[in-house]
Amino acid sequence: MSYACSMAATQPIVGFTRNPVGTPEIPGVCVKVLGAGKPSRDELLGFVPGLSALVTMYTDAVDDELLDAAGDQLKVICNFAVGYDNINISACKNRGIVVCNTPDAVTEGTANIAWLLILASARRLIEADRYARSPDYPKHGQLGMDEFLGMDLCNKLLLVVGAGRIGYATAQRAKAFGMRIAYVARSRHLDFEMAPLGAHRMTLEEGLAAADVVSVHTPLTEQTRHLLNADNLRLLKKEAIVVNTARGPVIDEQALVNALDEERLWAAGLDVYEKEPEVHPGLIENPRVVLTPHIGSAEIAWRRAMTEMVCANVAAVLGDREPPNRIG
């Protein structure tokens, strides 16, 4: 898919840093797209001059340098994600630039990935998959009764760290597996505590000590960086599973690797990484770790919905209306 704007275009220019899924429909604008893969910093800086609206991915750093390069005509930045820790909100506010995100469209897909990671970790999918592909399977024949034993989830406790939309959707799915639910949040969330979830609010320390599965859904802030660390990971049971579909730096990756290497955890499932896209070698080498390349929202329907949401936000700001998903 390619888009182009003529040099003589008088319409506002909306720039996407990646190819969108679906067709962007924004009346009265010219759409241009930088490319398919992650752009270099120089490519990004060269792309933004003259834009009235910029649509970014979570890996595109939006800071003073980029905003200066864009120019005074830039009115809105919309992140193609729910998280926005890549954007300097204060710098945008100082320039009168509206910042938006795409919260609802990522909820179901990310909750699905969280559960894919939970199930794959509990049932040792990576080890089983490798074995089934190897010559050892036909050579040795039927497995013994004590091989590839997994972890049962029925009546186990799921701890949801971060009680937002995705955390709620993940907890909903847990009910189908007969799990009990607890949550960690700065304040009470009655939607978690009432039926059908019936969840209990716990402190992080209480929750980690009691949990069989920990699913991380908190945004990345200075307060949540290394929220799970060497000290509190020691509270977990040896049979516990840790899953992260939020932001990599919420977990101290080295501490997680140490816990896995020392067999203080059953398994881990990760869709995000502390130094993304780099993955810690200790995670790659461990067969009890399930890894996916930040594909939480990568379902066709939801990515199209994200494109539609981006277009609605951009169209509103350029039309001097309040956008549906303003964050700054």
Annotated catalytic residues are 247, 276, 294
| Side chain identity at residue 30, one-letter code | C
- The pair phi, psi for residue 284, each rounded to 5°, is -60, -40
How far apart, in whole angstroms, are the C-alpha atoms of residue 216 and residue 167? 8
Amino acid at 33: V
- Two tokens at 325? 């998903």
CB 249 within 8 A of CB 220: yes
User: HSE (CB half, 13 Å, CA atoms) of 202?
Assistant: 19
Measured CA to CA, the distance from residue 289 to residue 76 in angstroms comes to: 39
Terminal-to-terminal C-alpha distance of the chain: 31
77 φ/ψ angles, rounded to the nearest 5 degrees:
-120, 130
Question: Is the separation of the CB atoms in 197 and 175 below 8 Å?
Answer: yes
Mapped onto helix, strand or coil, the DSSP state of residue 66 is: helix
Distances (CA, A) of 76 to 24, 51, 73, 92, 241: 16, 9, 9, 9, 40
